[in-house]
Amino acid sequence: MALACARAARAALRLPSDASPVAVVLGSGLGAFAERLASQTAVPFESLPGFPATTVPGHRGRLVFGDLGGVPVLALQGRLHGYEGHDAATVAFPARVLGVLGSRALVVTNAAGGVNPDFAPGDLMRIADHLNLSGRNPLLGPNEDALGARFPDLSRAYDPRLAEALETAAKETEIALRRGIYAQITGPSYETAAEVRALRLLGADAVGMSTVPEVIAAAHQGIPCCGISCITNAAAGISHTPLSHQEVVEVARRVEGTFARLLCAFIPRAAAAVPARKALA
């Protein structure tokens, strides 16, 4: 199914077979970055075979192809979530398609709650590693040998070359960039104060409801990956105000400009840091 979807996407987006783009997954409230791409073409998720529509506010649900300073970029404006009723393999399906299209790197972004008490809403955090507390894995079931090995190594799921490129981009743009561990829970309910205390004991700095399935799928396919969290709120027990998705989207949109500046500086460096990959479709 990923091959058929990739072929349809390539035709709809007029994506050259040798493009080897940098791929970006844009999380809640962060989708406006895609509008910065030059010569862009876009296609709605639901128009591609096997590609479910997203139902979450702040996720536009489009696959966009364009150019950023001479670098071809594929951007997902929005993503799928397990709490929408999808299994982990379906959640990771868009990342699978990006890999089949020959993406040389995958940049995953999200809106997250700050577990680290030193973090404040509006901070950007480079994901150094993750805790998969969702109880789900996109690789369950028969292995697709054409995509990757049965037992992929995740010890370097977040590529050090891309991490260095992101840190350099942050310094050159004078954007403060935190570093930390991202924990994924299932959602859609926000975490309790007791759960946040447990997450801190486990070493988490931020918590959210996405990202990990895409990173696992990327690692399975051998795609270098980098992750950025936008801290949109203090997690339960740290903040004493009720949590809401509206607040998450509003804070993410307030930092859109800073976030976009960081990505604009980072993506050319990401393209230079890792080699091109051959498309499968």
Q: What is the CATH number of the domain that holds 221?
A: 3.40.50.1580
For residue 236, what are its two tokens? 């339960």
**Active site residue: 23, 81, 92, 229, which one?**
81
Residues 6+ apart with CB under 8 A from 153: 219
Give the confidence band of 85 by pLDDT, cuts at 50, 70, 90: very high
The single-letter DSSP state of residue 10 is: H
Question: Is 247 a domain residue?
Answer: yes
**Active site residue: 210, 229, 270, 271, which one?**
210
Asked whether the predicted pLDDT for residue 173 surpasses 90, the reply is yes
180-185: average pLDDT: 98
% the chain with pLDDT above 70 = 98
Catalytic residue status for 47: no
Catalytic residue status for 164: no
Catalytic residue status for 240: no
Catalytic residue status for 245: yes
**Active site residue: 20, 190, 233, 235, which one?**
233
Cα–Cα distance for residue pair 48/39, rounded to 1 Å: 21
**Active site residue: 8, 19, 20, 59, which one?**
59
Catalytic residue status for 125: no
Q: Maximum CA pair distance of the chain?
A: 51
**Active site residue: 83, 89, 198, 239, which one?**
83
For residue 263, what are its two tokens? 């990505």
Question: Is 128 a domain residue?
Answer: yes
Residues 6+ apart with CB under 8 A from 210: 27, 79, 81, 91, 110, 184
What pLDDT is recorded for position 59? 63
Question: Is 280 a domain residue?
Answer: no
- The residue written with tokens 């891309």 in the block is 162
Asked whether the predicted pLDDT for residue 27 surpasses 90, the reply is no
Question: Is 279 a domain residue?
Answer: no
Range of the domain at 195: 2-273
Question: Is 261 a domain residue?
Answer: yes
**How many CA atoms lie within 13 Å of 267's alpha carbon, on the beta-carbon side?**
30
Q: Structural domain tally of the chain? A: 1
Give the confidence band of 114 by pLDDT, cuts at 50, 70, 90: very high
Q: Is the pTM of this model over 0.85?
A: yes
% the chain with pLDDT above 90 = 72
Question: Is 18 a domain residue?
Answer: yes
Catalytic residue status for 210: yes
Question: Is 281 a domain residue?
Answer: no
Cα–Cα distance for residue pair 226/162, rounded to 1 Å: 6
For residue 142, what are its two tokens? 């028969």
Pairing type for strands 225-234 and 105-114 reads parallel
Catalytic residue status for 134: no
Question: Is 90 a domain residue?
Answer: yes
**Active site residue: 4, 32, 84, 143, which one?**
84
**Active site residue: 105, 209, 270, 271, which one?**
209
Catalytic residue status for 110: no
**Active site residue: 28, 116, 132, 134, which one?**
28
Give the confidence band of 234 by pLDDT, cuts at 50, 70, 90: confident
Catalytic residue status for 130: no
Catalytic residue status for 111: yes
